[in-house]
């Protein structure tokens, strides 16, 4: 194929020009939409502007693009869970399968993360029925504790929206559960896969006399795991009881869940090339328990005003067991080198072997166990009113939490198949612990005003004040209790203007903040570094993170019978000031500290179109996520020097999603999804180096990016009657071998075998570790509604 001249090729490689190209391609389409031919049926969607819904507002009047999905949408898309659904369907969303478990994925949106991994820089807030469910210790999200069988809607709000409170740096996810009033009747769903995954969902809602209603939902999930030693299971139950009266509605709900998930994490490249299903070391087990209760009261003062109040209590427990290779590799080599045969297997040295019943030990290991206990309580109130040209919302909340965290370590051995088992002669000892409390008070106000016909002004502000106190201890000492206070007023201002029947332009500027977590405050001293998240030290002050978002775009409806056809083109830019990152220390370990700035910017383009029996949805996202300051980060294996423009790891620059649905007849439909992702930078290789440069030696360069991929999913549904539905899906239909994340680490087991001490007495070289994507999977299921 003929190459373009250099001057022309450059246009397609500059980020700013990509914005112009996509915008230029969309403008003719937008112009045609403005002119319009025939108007379709108008469909108005009402969404909440804050965690407490209130009266809500028309979605098209908000100065930012809100994405909404219902339980019916999720069922039609056929995702295995909400994480997979959002990854395949929602623009701007990607998933990193870092742990290997389908319910322990890192979900990113516009470069910000909602992750179950402790110590990860969180940037998305998550709400369930108006209650923030980011755990107080680390702001992590336990996706396995989400009652998926009870979810009625999910709303994704972009940007640093102050109305959604702390940690809303890049956006917020708001889940709302069903009730007997909104979803009467029952539903049973059973599904299984050829990889040994089984799931059962049950939901039933009823309406009684005098406004009484109730709802129950339960889920059971068992997974043998497509990778070795990766079986897992979880279950949860959700109950809601309420009553609707002419002026007052109330409901009380209870959620209980528990899980045992095995996420065996990343795999070194050499071992991955040999065996896609392999694991590095095991066990890596997470056990979660949760009990949560919510009381919700809505009182209508008149037809245009209402007040809402919520009170909640939440208790969660998290226990982990992680088998790792010991740091004493060099000492072990010196003590045991004489006792190895030609294959690197110990020949009988008492210090290098286990008993005959346990087999030979290849390497000293360590079992790290953690115990986290978290209790949270809080209450929120909100008031919402509207007039002909104005819509007002105001609210306040109080949240408090208590955290008890402890980490223990026990000497262990790594067996021939890389299982880490406890040394029977060793005991488990405390390495670090913290008892912490937090108390947050906030208040907000928002106004949506019609300035003129077709022009809306939105303004809001939220005040957050948080106090964090904690007491750190280890096996030998207890630190004095320390406390920190943070306060911030975050504003937002936006404008919406309707150009015609089929085009509306919008723009918004917003600010939000995140308060440092206990895990970050506990490892913030460069003179007392730690290895995340094993060590906690005294607490130097960390500044709170402040995110500022600018967003603008155009959206509109297209002619169509159901009024859902439309398009959205939006550009976004978020700057994080005083972002909290893990820095390197002279000792070779690390500590948390503020960095001047990070930057995430890009665009989202989405199109929905139905023609007869054919439906099409297309989404494209461009993301540029970079460090915007000089720093030396510690990644666990390397010290990475960043500068302005250094890319942030794990975030693809280009993502495209295409969905096609074809209804052959009212009973039978087929569909196909194509999800294409560009390459992404590997953590620890952001600077293009494989090893830390040694003095006087040229740096060892390596391009260890994770390659891009495209996945095809085929699906079908058959409804022989109004009550029965059969469905099937073929995920990764072409059995593409792909990876979703990468990190640099020391590979002590090239090709799955321990480095022979006689060959390498100095340790292991760095290698690329990857998160393997799942192979072709067949999913079949049955759904019965009554």
What domains, with CATH codes, occur in the chain? 36-284+293-785 (2.40.170.20)
For 728-781, how does the pLDDT look when each residue is reduced to its tens digit (9 = 90+)?
A: 999 999 999 999 999 998 888 888 887 655 455 455 788 999 999 999 999 999
Beta bridge partners of 285: 262, 321
Distance of CA 8 to the CA centre of its chain: 38
Distances (CA, A) of 274 to 151, 269, 753: 41, 9, 12
pLDDT of 686 strictly over 50: yes
**The pLDDT of residue 383:** 97
Average pLDDT score over the chain: 85
**The pLDDT of residue 441:** 97
CA dihedral 96, 98, 103, 108 (to 10 degrees): -30
**The pLDDT of residue 264:** 75
| Nearest residue to 636 (alpha-carbon basis) of 681, 685, 577, 676 | 685
SS3 content of the chain, % helix, strand, coil (to 5): 10, 55, 35
- The pLDDT of 211-235, averaged and rounded, is 94
Would you say 155 and 47 are in contact if contact means Cβ atoms under 8 Å apart?
yes
- Between strands 267-268 and 284-302, the pairing is unpaired
pLDDT of 479 strictly over 50: yes
Percent share of the chain, pLDDT over 70: 85
Would you say 145 and 238 are in contact if contact means Cβ atoms under 8 Å apart?
no
pLDDT confidence bin for 450, thresholds 50/70/90: very high
For 573-616, how does the pLDDT look when each residue is reduced to its tens digit (9 = 90+)?
A: 999 999 888 776 555 566 778 888 999 999 999 999 998 899 99
pLDDT of 5 strictly over 70: no
* Number of helical H runs and strand E runs in the chain: 7, 38
C-alpha radius of gyration, the chain, whole number: 27
Buried b (16+ CB within 10 A) or exposed e, 190-209: ebbbebebebbbbbbbebee
Tokens of 570: 């939006």
**The pLDDT of residue 581:** 80
For 380-404, how does the pLDDT look when each residue is reduced to its tens digit (9 = 90+)?
A: 999 999 998 999 999 999 999 999 9
Distances (CA, A) of 280 to 262, 362, 465, 577, 765: 13, 14, 44, 37, 16
Distances (CA, A) of 123 to 170, 385, 512, 684: 6, 31, 10, 21
Query: Which residue is associated with the tokens 């709400």?
Result: 127
- The pLDDT of 85-96, averaged and rounded, is 93
**The pLDDT of residue 256:** 98
- From 279-288, 290-299, 692-701, the region with the lowest mean pLDDT: 692-701
- The pLDDT of 639-646, averaged and rounded, is 91
**The pLDDT of residue 43:** 63
- Give the span between the Cα atoms of 235 and 255, in whole angstroms: 11
pLDDT confidence bin for 164, thresholds 50/70/90: very high
Percent share of the chain, pLDDT over 90: 61
pLDDT confidence bin for 362, thresholds 50/70/90: low
- The pLDDT of 234-262, averaged and rounded, is 96
**The pLDDT of residue 42:** 52
- The pLDDT of 336-349, averaged and rounded, is 42
pLDDT confidence bin for 424, thresholds 50/70/90: confident
**The pLDDT of residue 391:** 95
- The pLDDT of 280-288, averaged and rounded, is 91
- pTM for the complete prediction? 0.89
- Give the span between the Cα atoms of 402 and 389, in whole angstroms: 44
**The pLDDT of residue 349:** 41
Write the Ramachandran bin of 466: left for phi over 0, alpha for psi from -120 to 50, otherwise beta. Answer: beta
Q: What number of CA atoms fall less than 13 Å from residue 16's CA on the CB side?
A: 0
Give the list of residues 6+ apart from residue 5 with CB closer than 8 angstroms, or none. none
- From 17-21, 110-114, 126-130, the region with the lowest mean pLDDT: 17-21
| Nearest residue to 784 (alpha-carbon basis) of 719, 695, 689, 733 | 719
- Between strands 124-128 and 171-177, the pairing is parallel
Distances (CA, A) of 289 to 42, 143, 315, 375: 45, 12, 8, 12
């Amino acid at each position: 194929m003929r190459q373009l001249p250099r001057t022309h090729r450059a246009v397609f490689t500059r980020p700013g020009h990509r914005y112009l190209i996509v915008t230029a391609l969309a403008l003719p389409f937008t112009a045609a939409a403005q002119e319009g031919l025939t108007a379709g049926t108008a469909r108005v969607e009402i969404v909440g502007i804050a965690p407490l819904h209130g009266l809500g507002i028309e979605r098209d009047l908000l100065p930012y693009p809100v994405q909404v999905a219902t339980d019916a949408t999720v069922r039609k898309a056929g995702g295995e869970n909400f994480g997979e659904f959002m990854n395949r369907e929602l623009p701007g969303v990607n998933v990193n399968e870092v742990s290997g478990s389908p319910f322990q994925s890192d979900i990113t949106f516009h470069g910000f993360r909602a992750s179950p991994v402790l110590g990860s820089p969180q940037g998305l807030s998550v709400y369930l029925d108006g209650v923030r469910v980011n755990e107080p210790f680390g702001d992590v999200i336990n996706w396995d504790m989400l009652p998926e069988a009870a979810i009625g809607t999910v709303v994704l709000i972009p940007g640093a929206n102050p109305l959604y409170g702390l940690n809303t740096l890049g956006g917020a996810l708001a889940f709302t559960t069903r009730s007997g009033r909104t979803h009467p009747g029952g539903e049973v769903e059973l599904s299984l896969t050829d990889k040994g995954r089984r799931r059962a969902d049950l939901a039933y809602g009823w309406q009684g006399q005098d406004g009484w209603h109730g709802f129950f939902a339960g889920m059971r999930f068992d997974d043998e795991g497509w990778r070795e030693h990766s079986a897992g299971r979880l279950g949860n139950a959700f109950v809601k009881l309420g009553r609707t009266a002419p002026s007052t509605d109330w409901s009380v709900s209870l959620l209980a869940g528990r899980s045992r998930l095995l996420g065996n994490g990343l795999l070194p490249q050499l071992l991955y090339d040999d065996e896609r299903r392999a694991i590095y070391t095991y066990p890596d087990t997470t056990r979660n328990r949760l009990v949560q209760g919510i009381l919700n009261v809505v009182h209508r003062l008149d037809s245009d005003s209402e007040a809402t109040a919520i009170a909640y209590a939440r208790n969660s427990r998290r226990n982990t067991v992680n088998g790792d290779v010991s740091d004493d590799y060099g000492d072990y080599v010196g003590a045991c080198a004489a006792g190895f045969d030609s294959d690197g297997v110990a020949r009988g040295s008492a210090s290098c072997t286990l008993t005959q019943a346990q087999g030979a030990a290849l390497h000293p290991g360590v079992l790290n166990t953690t115990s986290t206990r978290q209790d949270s309580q809080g209450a929120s109130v909100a008031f919402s009113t509207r007039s002909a040209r104005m819509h007002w919302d105001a609210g306040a909340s109080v949240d408090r939490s208590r955290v008890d965290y402890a980490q223990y370590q026990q000497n262990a051995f790594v067996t021939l198949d890389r299982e880490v088992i406890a040394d029977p002669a060793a005991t488990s000892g405390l390495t670090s612990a913290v008892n912490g409390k937090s108390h947050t008070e906030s208040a907000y106000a928002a106004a949506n005003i019609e300035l003129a016909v077709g022009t809306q002004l939105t303004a809001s502000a939220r005040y957050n004040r948080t106090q964090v106190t904690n007491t750190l201890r280890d096996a030998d000492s207890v630190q004095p209790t320390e406390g920190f206070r943070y306060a911030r007023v975050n504003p937002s201002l936006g404008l919406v203007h309707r150009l015609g029947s089929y085009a509306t332009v919008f723009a918004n500027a917003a600010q939000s903040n995140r308060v440092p977590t206990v895990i970050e405050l506990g490892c913030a001293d460069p003179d007392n570094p730690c290895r995340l998240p094993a060590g906690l030290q005294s607490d130097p002050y960390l500044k709170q993170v402040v995110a500022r978002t600018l967003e603008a775009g155009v959206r509109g409806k297209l002619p169509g019978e159901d009024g859902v056809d439309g398009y959205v083109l939006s550009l976004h830019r978020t700057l994080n000031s005083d972002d909290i990152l893990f820095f390197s220390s002279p000792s070779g370990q690390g500590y948390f500290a503020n960095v001047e700035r990070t930057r995430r910017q890009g665009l989202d383009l989405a199109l929905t179109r139905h023609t007869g029996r054919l439906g099409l949805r297309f989404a494209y996202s461009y993301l540029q996520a970079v460090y915007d300051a000089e720093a030396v980060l510690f990644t666990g294996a390397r010290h990475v020097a960043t500068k302005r423009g250094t890319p942030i790891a794990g975030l693809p620059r280009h993502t495209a999603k295409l969905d096609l649905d074809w209804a052959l007849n009212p009973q039978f439909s087929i569909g196909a999804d194509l999800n294409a992702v560009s390459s992404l930078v590997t953590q620890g290789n952001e600077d293009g180096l494989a090893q830390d440069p040694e003095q006087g030696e040229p740096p060892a360069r390596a391009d260890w990016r994770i390659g891009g991929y495209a996945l095809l999913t085929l699906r079908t549904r058959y409804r022989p009657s109004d009550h029965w539905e059969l469905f099937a899906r073929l995920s990764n239909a072409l059995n593409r071998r792909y990876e979703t994340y990468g990190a640099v680490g020391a590979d002590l087991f090239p090709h799955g075998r321990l480095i022979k001490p006689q060959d390498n007495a100095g340790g292991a070289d760095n290698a690329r570790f990857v998160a393997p994507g799942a192979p072709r999977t067949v999913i079949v299921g049955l759904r019965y509604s009554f």
